[in-house]
């Protein structure tokens, strides 16, 4: 069957119209590129808190003064009134405590004169502690101050218990008394008494002051009344040393003739009948 030119023209025209009305194919949409992730910020390093310097160990004198302060009930820096009796009774019950430093003659008791020499320094009552609940207004952004760790006080070394003396039938002589702290301090001070007159004076004062300044832990600290690690002229003047005994005259040898006695004019004295 042959189609006429009119039919072919209509078919071609409709095909072209259909092709023109067909929507064009859209290209595939690409996803948007992602932004690179930022690295997390590092935490700021905290400043290291400096550790407090270790405290120096207390001396024997400091421990003895602290023990005596327990009996200063009115906190006036003196042992007086009824405090004297309480201190004396405490030392009588425990003569091996630190109060032995004030027992100058080593008789295991504290007399009134020895108690009067105890210098406690300026000792005021302990101030009241502030209220722990009341806190100051904290500034915005301020970090709390780091508190230094409190170290426990050093405990004094325990003295070994005395061994019981073994009984024996034959009595043994008692051992010599150990030198007291005062005896050791006087022995140290005698080294600077160059003329052996029992006093520290003139250039001897400078020498003993220089020696104590170089070694404040020596036995000379017993004369440092105010505990300022130096000996002033007043403290040196209080040091009492025993002068050296005078030399004995030479004894006459046996068999030697004694010189004849003379009178006031130098003539030989008449012999007694």
pLDDT, one tens digit per residue, over 24-64 is 555 555 666 666 666 666 666 666 676 666 667 888 888 88
Contact in structure between 208 and 231 (CB atoms under 8 Å): yes
pLDDT confidence of residue 124: 42
Half-sphere exposure of 235 (CA within 13 A, CB side): 19
Residue 57, Cβ density class (10 Å: 0-12 exposed, 13-18 middle, ≥19 buried): exposed
Domain count, the chain: 2
Whether 66 is in a domain gets the answer yes
Q: Which residue segment(s) compose the domain that 210 sits in?
A: 181-237
Q: How far is 76 from 32, CA to CA, in rounded Å?
A: 87
Q: How far is 181 from 224, CA to CA, in rounded Å?
A: 13
CA dihedral 70, 72, 73, 79 (to 10 degrees): 140
Tell me the CA distances in angstroms from 214 to 118, 169, 262, one per residue in order: 26, 52, 61
User: Given a cut of 70, is residue 122 above it in pLDDT?
Assistant: no
Whether 76 is in a domain gets the answer yes
- pTM > 0.85: yes or no: no
Whether 52 is in a domain gets the answer no
- Average pLDDT for the chain: 73
Whether 245 is in a domain gets the answer no
User: Given a cut of 80, is residue 120 above it in pLDDT?
Assistant: yes
Whether 6 is in a domain gets the answer no
Whether 262 is in a domain gets the answer no
Whether 132 is in a domain gets the answer no
Residues 6+ apart with CB under 8 A from 266: none
pLDDT confidence of residue 119: 85
Whether 192 is in a domain gets the answer yes
Between 161 and 254, whose confidence is greater?
161
């Amino acid at each position: 069957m042959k189609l006429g030119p009119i039919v072919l023209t209509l078919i071609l025209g409709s095909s072209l119209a259909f092709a023109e009305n067909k929507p064009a194919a859209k290209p595939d949409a690409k996803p948007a590129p992602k932004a690179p992730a930022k690295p997390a910020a590092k935490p700021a390093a905290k400043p290291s808190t400096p550790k407090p310097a270790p405290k120096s160990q207390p001396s024997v004198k400091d421990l003895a003064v602290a023990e005596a302060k327990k009996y200063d009930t009115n906190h006036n820096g003196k042992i007086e009134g009824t405090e004297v009796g309480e201190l004396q009774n405490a030392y009588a019950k425990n003569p091996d405590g630190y109060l032995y430093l004030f027992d100058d003659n080593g008789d295991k008791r504290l007399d009134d004169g020895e108690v009067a020499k105890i210098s406690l320094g300026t000792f005021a009552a302990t101030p009241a502690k502030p209220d722990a609940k009341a806190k100051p207004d904290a500034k915005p952004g301020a970090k709390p101050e780091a508190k230094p760790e409190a170290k426990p006080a050093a405990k004094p070394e325990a003295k070994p218990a005395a061994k019981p003396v073994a009984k024996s039938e034959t009595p043994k002589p008692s051992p010599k008394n150990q030198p007291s702290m005062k005896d050791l301090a006087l022995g140290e001070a005698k080294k600077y008494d160059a003329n052996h007159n029992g006093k520290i004076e003139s250039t001897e004062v400078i020498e003993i002051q220089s020696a104590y300044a170089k070694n404040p832990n020596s036995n000379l600290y017993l004369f440092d009344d105010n505990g300022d690690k130096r000996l002033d002229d007043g403290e040196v003047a209080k040091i009492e040393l025993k002068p050296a005994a005078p030399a004995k005259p030479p004894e006459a040898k046996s068999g030697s003739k004694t010189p004849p006695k003379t009178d006031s004019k130098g003539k030989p004295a008449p012999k007694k009948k």
